[in-house]
A = this chain, B = another copy of it.
Amino acid sequence: MKRFVEVEQLLRAKGVRLTDQRRLVVRRAVAYLHFTAEELVRDVKGFDPSVARGTIYRTLALLHQAGVVEKHDFRYGPPNYEVTFAKAHHDHLMCVQCGEIIEFQEPRVETLQQAVVKRYGYQLLSHTHKLYGLCRTCQHVDRKRVSLPPTLHVEEVVA
């Protein structure tokens, strides 16, 4: 079955009223792996310019609340949405030069996270774990030519 049908069923089960606009937004969103809100706006408006920005943002929020998409901050540019519906948990590795995003799983990190929160008496609800680096290809290009965002080289730089 098409993914968007399943998502629409999920939304309906949550009591969300489906409209033509929402159906279009859902179908366009699940066509992506990662997208920004404004990319989705442009994409949807390409199919039907009469759908309002507000409607697209509202529908995106519904998808978010329903757990269909997750919101990520990859530090470069606006937040990035990922369609995680029926997908296993994973973290991300991003090439800061070409923007490639790799999804990886490392359960041992999760074990250590539990150890950390236990140490402080916390109950863990969620986490953000993102690695930034250079992919094999980009390690061999002249980095001097590239203007990286100024953020990169100072935030949590690995020794």
What per-residue 1/0 map shows which CB atoms of A52-81 lie under 8 Å from chain B?
000000000100111101111101000000
Q: Nearest residue in B to A157 (C-beta to C-beta)? A: B126
Instruction: Please tell me if A86 contacts chain B, counting CB pairs below 8 Å.
Output: no
- How many copies of the shown chain assemble into the complex? 2
| Beyond A70-B154, A126-B153, 9 additional pairs, beta carbon < 8 A | A67-B153, A71-B151, A93-B120, A104-B119, A108-B112, A113-B131, A117-B133, A124-B132, A129-B130
Chain A contacts to B: CB under 8 angstroms: 61, 64-67, 69-73, 75, 89, 91, 93, 95-96, 102, 104, 106, 108-110, 112-113, 115-117, 119-136, 139, 150-159
